[in-house]
Structure 1
Amino acid sequence: MIRQLLTLGAGIALSAAILAGDWWFNHRSHYDGPEAASYVVSDDAEGDVDDALARAAERDTRVLLVMGANWCHDSRALAGWLETERLAGLVSEKYELVFVNIGMPQRGDGHNLGIARRFGLKDLPGTPNVLVLTSDGELVNGDTATTWRDAASRSESAIYDELASLAG
C-alpha cells in the first residue's frame, strides 16, 4: 500500500513537472527577439560599478546598471537587446554598461544586493532591474528601476525610447 502511494505521488509529481515544462516552453517559444546566450557577470561587482562611475565622470555619460541573472529569460533577453546595433550605439554613446548578478532575491537567494541599497533601492522584487545612475551615483529612474521583469516582452523601440529619455 505504501509503495503504491509513493508510486502514485511520484507519478503526480512527474506529471506536474512535465506540464510546467510544457507551459514554459510554449510561452517562451513566442519570444522572437534577441537573447544573449549567457548573462555575463563579474566576480567584482562593486569594483565594476565603481569603475563605471569613474568612466562616466570622465566621459560625461551615465551608468546603465543591469542587475539580473543567467537563469532569467528576461535578463538574457535584455542583454540580447542591448547587443543590437541600434541599442548598442545608444549605450556606447550615452552610458557605461555594467551587468551585476543578483541571483534570486525574490526567493531569498540574492547576491550583490548591497549595490542596489547603495543607490537607494531597498528591495529587488525580481530580475532584471535597470538602474540609470549619474556619474556621482544618483539614481535617475528610481520609479522604474525595478519594473523590467518583462524585458522579453518589450520591443526594441520601447527599450530604446526609455533609455534615450534617461540618458540625460
Structure 2
Amino acid sequence: MKRLAATLLLAIAAPLLSVCGPVNSASSAALAHPDATPFDPKANAGLDLAVAEAEARPLLAVFGANWCHDSRALAGWLESDRFAPLREQFAIVYIDVGHPQEGEGRNLDLAAMFGITDIVGTPTLVAVGSDGKVLNAATAKGWRNAASRSGDEIYAELAGYAAR
C-alpha cells in the first residue's frame, strides 16, 4: 500500500516539480537585476550628503535599506558597469532609512531637506541639479518598484535628469 501511495504521489508531483526549475524566458531575463547593499546604518549620512553637495554637480540621493530588494536592485544598477557614464555625471549618496513604514526610520530629516516627507517605502530617489533644485519632487517616492524595472528604463529616467 505504501508503495502504491508513493507511486501515485510521484506521478502527481513530477509535472509540478518540473515547473519549479529555473526559467530561462526572455521576460525573466528582462527583470534580472544586479544587487548591491551600500546602505550603511552606521554611516554619517549627513556628512556624506554634504561632501557630495560640495562637488557642485548633480546629485542622486538614494534613501533605502539593505533589507529592501528594490533598494538593492536600484543600487545594483547604479553600481554596475553599464551605469558608469551616469556615475560620472552624478554624485551618488546611499542613505539608510531603516524601517520608516514601521515607524523606525532614520535620516528622514535629510530627505525633508529636499522637501520629501512621509517616506513610507523604499527606495526613494531624489535627483538634485547642480543648482541645488530637486528635479523629481513629484516622482521621488515612485521607486518602490525598482526591482521590477528594466535597466533600460532606469537608465533612461536618470539620464533625463542629467540632461536638465
TM-score normalised by length of structure 1: 0.74
User: What is the CA deviation profile of residues 73-103 of structure 1, one whole-angstrom value per residue up to 9, with x for unaligned ones?
Assistant: 11111111112222122222x1001000001
**Structure 2 residue 136 is the aligned partner of structure 1 residue 141:** yes
Matches within 5 A, 1:12-23: none
Q: Residue 34 of structure 2 aligns with which residue?
A: 34
Q: Distance in 1 between matches of 2:139 and 2:100?
A: 18
Q: Distance in 1 between matches of 2:32 and 2:160?
A: 25
Q: Residue 115 of structure 1 aligns with which residue?
A: 110
- Confirm or deny: 8 A CA contact 1:128 1:146 kept in the other structure: yes
- Confirm or deny: 8 A CA contact 1:54 1:135 kept in the other structure: no
**Structure 2 residue 83 is the aligned partner of structure 1 residue 84:** no
Which runs of 4 or more aligned residues in structure 1 lie more than 4 Å from their structure 2 counterparts after TM superposition?
Answer: none
User: What is the CA deviation profile of residues 97-143 of structure 1, one whole-angstrom value per residue up to 9, with x for unaligned ones?
Assistant: 10000011111000000001111012112000100112343211001
Q: Residue 4 of structure 1 aligns with which residue?
A: none
Q: Distance in 2 between matches of 1:32 and 1:134?
A: 30
Q: Residue 156 of structure 1 aligns with which residue?
A: 151
Q: Residue 51 of structure 1 aligns with which residue?
A: 51
Please state how far the C-alpha of 1:69 moved relative to its aligned partner. Answer: 0.3
In structure 1, list runs of 5 or more residues that go unmatched.
1-29
Query: Of the two, which has the highest radius of gyration?
Result: 2
Please state how far the C-alpha of 1:146 moved relative to its aligned partner. Answer: 0.3
User: What is the CA deviation profile of residues 48-88 of structure 1, one whole-angstrom value per residue up to 9, with x for unaligned ones?
Assistant: 11110101x1xxx2001000001101111111111222212
Give the fraction of aligned pairs with identical amino acids, expressed as a percent. 47
SS at match of 1:100: strand
SS at match of 2:140: coil
- Confirm or deny: 8 A CA contact 2:39 2:64 kept in the other structure: no
Q: Distance in 2 between matches of 1:113 and 1:166?
A: 23
Q: Residue 101 of structure 1 aligns with which residue?
A: 96
TM-score normalised by length of structure 2: 0.76
In structure 2, list runs of 5 or more residues that go unmatched.
1-27
Q: Distance in 2 between matches of 1:40 and 1:124?
A: 16
